[in-house]
Structure 1
Amino acid sequence: MHGPALLVTAAVVTLLSGCGSFPGFGAGSPPQVQNNPEVAKQQFTQGLDVTQGRGVTQDYQHGVELFKDAALNGSAEGAYMAGMSYLSGRGVNTSLTDAAYWLDLAARKDHPSALYQLGVLYMNGRGVKKNRLWAGFLLSRAADLGHKQAIFDLGVVYARGLGLPQDPAAAWYWFAQAEKRGVALATELKMRMYSLSNKASRQSASRLMAYHSGRVDRSTTLFIQLRLDELGYPSGHADGIWGLKTDHAYHLFTRQRLLLSDLELNWQNLQLIRDF
């Protein structure tokens, strides 16, 4: 269903801008991250102590360096805090590129808030080339991991067709989930999507999401399905379920376009497919 009736108000759309004018993921690859959990935990804790002045002289700049060290030793929280420090300019000069660089490291480890912030960046083209399909993937993954604002914003995405297919029933579902979590405006928008959908479509959306409950592979599969369709490899109904059509389209794409018999669906390769 299309047309003006599905447009969400401008006030709601601004909620998709997260906490402000955030940057996007800059060019280049993140550094090699080590897996030193004990060291990372210690560095992250020290970073919190220093930035908050807990038992030591408060020093935001030193704290950010500790967060970055923790990130490079495998701490998703450290990467997220470093990214948010560069966004806010607390302890360091505000740097959009650096902020997104560290947020991306956290998102690779399925940090819900980092996934959400990156989704906002790509949705609005802040510091990156606007890519609403990729934004939809990031927001979907954050929502699947329980991020409250991502759950609401995913309703907006489906209501307006911002990178994901315009679907009032899916929007109704996500606004209903946001309502349960006390998100402002969710009830009003849920009722609007209710009036623009039918009982069968709402039941279908609920069944589909119930099937996916607790699984984060939905967002990856949905992104692959939609991206393959864009690239001319029809993968069947974009429902987030990896069926025979999706499997055939994916392997045909990797053989014909990437000259590979198989390709692991890790973060780096998802970005490869995104930018192909």
Structure 2
Amino acid sequence: MEPKLENEYVQSGQQAFYYLEKAADQLHTGALYLLAAIYLTGDGLKKDMASALWCFHKASERGHAGAAIVYGSLLLRGVQLPESVTKLYKTASKSSGSAVLDPVEMAKEQFQIAAKAGCELGFKWLQRLEEEEKRLLTE
């Protein structure tokens, strides 16, 4: 049984997902974030980590703090990046001269995006990574 939606505009979860996809196609950051969360959890559909990561990446790229935190956390957990996302990084890295995809550095970039947006959790993650780097250097 499909959950009852208390909304006069959207009549079903399927219709809501349709509109969410349409907004994400227009790169609306909130829609990208929500769609990524749906793909990540498999809420109402099959889990799709590749699509979740792509949506988190795109939302983060446009400054969505929540997407940046989740995406950075997933990178630190060692999730395998799909080719659609690694291509985006490789294109960006050609201009900077760096070809290696370091998950810790990539996560740090995400937390910087969140911190720049004023997200306290972004600052905390950056502090934690800095402390861990210092600890590793003193061992």
Q: TM-score, normalised by structure 2?
A: 0.70
**Structure 1 runs (4+) greater than 6 angstroms displaced:** none
For residues 5 and 73 of structure 2, what CA distance do their matches in structure 1 show?
A: 28
Where 1:137 maps in the other structure, the secondary structure is helix
Q: Is 2:69 aligned against 1:108? A: no
CA distance in 2, matches of 1:109, 1:57: 27
Structure 1 residues 51, 94: CA separation in 2 closer, same or farther (over 3 Å shift)?
farther
Structure-1 residue corresponding to 2:25:
72
Aligned to 2:119: 147
Alignment-mate amino acid for residue 22 of structure 2:
D
Tell me which residue corresponds to 2:88.
none
Query: Against the structure 1 CA distance between its residues 57 and 96, is the aligned structure 2 distance closer, same or farther, given a 3 Å change threshold?
Result: same
Check the 8 A contact 2:111/2:126 in 1, yes or no. Answer: yes
Q: TM-score, normalised by structure 1?
A: 0.37
Alpha-carbon distance in 2 for matches of 1:120, 1:130? 14
Q: Distance in 2 between matches of 1:68 and 1:105?
A: 13
CA shift for structure 1 position 130: 6.0
SS in 2 for 1:116: helix
The one-letter code matched in structure 2 to 1:144 is: K
* 1:90 maps to 2:43: yes
> Which of the pair is proportionally richer in helix?
2
Supply the distance in 2 between the matched residues of 1:140 and 1:70 (Cα, whole angstroms).
26
Are 1:104 and 1:114, in contact at CA under 8 Å, matched by a contact in 2?
A: yes
After TM superposition, the structure 1 = structure 2 runs for residues 104-143 of structure 1, keeping only pairs within 5 Å, are 104-128=57-81, 131-143=103-115
CA contact (8 A) 1:86 1:93 kept: yes
| TM-aligned CA distance change 1:87 to 1:52, over 3 Å | farther
TM-aligned CA deviation for residue 125 of structure 1: 1.0
Asked if 2 retains the 8 angstrom alpha-carbon contact of 1:122 and 1:132, the reply is yes
The answer to whether the 8 A contact 1:116-1:150 is kept is: yes
RMSD value over aligned CA atoms?
Answer: 2.4
Over the matched positions of the two proteins, sequence identity in percent amounts to 18
Shift of 1:55: 2.2
Indicate the SS of the match to 1:146.
coil
> Quick one: which amino acid aligns to residue 132 of structure 1?
V
User: Residues 52 and 113 from structure 1, CA distance in 2 versus in 1: closer, same or farther, beyond 3 angstroms?
Assistant: farther
Question: Alpha-carbon deviation of 1:90?
Answer: 1.6
What is the number of equivalent residue pairs in this alignment?
A: 114
Instruction: Report the structure number with the largest CA radius of gyration.
Output: 1
Higher relative contact order (Cα pairs below 8 Å, separated by 6+ residues): 2
2:87 matched residue in structure 1: none
- Pair 85,123 (structure 1): closer, same or farther in 2 beyond 3 Å: same
Distance in 1 between residues matched to 2:23 and 2:35, nearest whole Å = 9
Q: CA offsets, 1:87-118, max 9 Å, x none?
A: 12222211111111211221121111111111
CA 1:130–1:122: 2 relative to 1, 3 Å? farther
Q: Note the residue ranges of structure 2 that are not aligned, 5 or more in a row.
A: 82-100
1:158 corresponds in structure 2 to 130
